[in-house]
Amino acid sequence: MSDQAPPKCGLVAVIGAPNAGKSTLVNQLVGQKVAITSAKAQTTRARMLGIALHDEVQMILVDTPGIFAPKRRLDRAMVSAAWEGAVEADAVLLIVDPVKQRRHELIPLLENLKGRPERKYLVLNKVDVSKKEPLLALAQELTEMADFAEVFFVSALTGDGVPELKTHLASLMPEGVWHYPEDQVSDASERLLATEVTREQLYRQLHEELPYDSAVRPESYQTRPDGSVEIHQQIVIARDSQKGIVLGKGGSKLKAIGEAARAELAEILGVKVHLFLHVKVDEKWSESREIFEEIGLDWVK
């Protein structure tokens, strides 16, 4: 942080239909992996905060869960967490995938944004695979619907256009002391991040067979005397019939999930990781207040 300019600190809410590329964009802005990115929609379950730094500016990114029509309790909590993120933001980014668009989800989002007081920015993602004319037409159409202050064209995947977006966001942030010390780049605790990484592997390796009603719970997280980390986690599923899917033949699937998660965690944390996973069946887990609070969501009646 430079001595000349006063520090600035603000909140940026990131919203969009599922799979619009929000998590990837947050990771680009922060410069490291904080939000879990899965090819399966709706996997940003907790209100993951990424903290982006730009000179003397700290931007707290609320990577809100994809906002979709709520069906059951879990979904309702995700939706309320998403809107809650946009309540007190200094800027709201609406990320749109111009290829898939998902208009049935995009239109309600625009309706909701229309009357909101925050400065709103439209971010059209995936410009690396989109044609220019339809992109410009879409930008104009959506801006007319929700009064965006500006439109940014980016590729969250390649990072194209992201520095310009980051610089602009930094210029909007109000003066104020930093909420997080410089070394605490993501306030998603390592414990929560560890469960996110395991959950990502669970979806990545079982995305066809395993529905959404599974959770990964942190049981313990300890640093051993040699500096390595020992992590115990529970994979909670809703039906006994799913147990075989998660375990695989002779436990091979669970082992593969554990090994991939362990390798990724070791890379993120920079230390050796000992990861122990076990599977538990709990038919009512998606109604459990305790599990909700563990994965960073508010309990919604």
21 marked ligand binding residue: yes
- Confirm or deny that 67 is annotated as ligand binding: yes
**Rounded Cα–Cα distance for residues 65 and 48 (Å):** 9
Q: According to the annotation, is 20 in a ligand binding site?
A: yes
Tell me if 127 is assigned to a ligand binding site.
Answer: yes
Asked if residue 294 lies in contact with residue 221, where contact means CB atoms within 8 angstroms, the answer is no
Q: Is 128 known to sit in a ligand binding site?
A: yes
* Burial class (CB within 10 angstroms; exposed 0-12, middle 13-18, buried 19+) of 71: exposed
23 is in an annotated binding site: yes
Please check if 18 is assigned to a binding site: yes
> Per the annotation, does 95 bind a ligand?
no
Would you say 6 is a known binding-site residue? no
What one-character-per-residue DSSP string does the chain give?
Answer: --SSSPPEEEEEEEEESTTSSHHHHHHHHHTS--S---SSTT---S-EEEEEEETTEEEEEEEPPP-----SHHHHHHHHHHHHHTSS-SEEEEEE-TTT--HHHHHHHHHHHHT--S-EEEEE--GGGS-HHHHHHHHHHHHHHH--SEEEE--TTT-TTHHHHHHHHHHHPPB---SS-TT----S-HHHHHHHHHHHHHHHHHTTT--S-EEEEEEEEEE-TTS-EEEEEEEEES-GGGHHHHH-GGGHHHHHHHHHHHHHHHHHHSS-EEEEEEEEE-TTGGG-HHHHHHTT-----
Which amino acids are annotated as binding site for GTP, given as ranges?
16-23, 63-67, 125-128
Which amino acids are annotated as binding site, given as ranges?
16-23, 63-67, 125-128
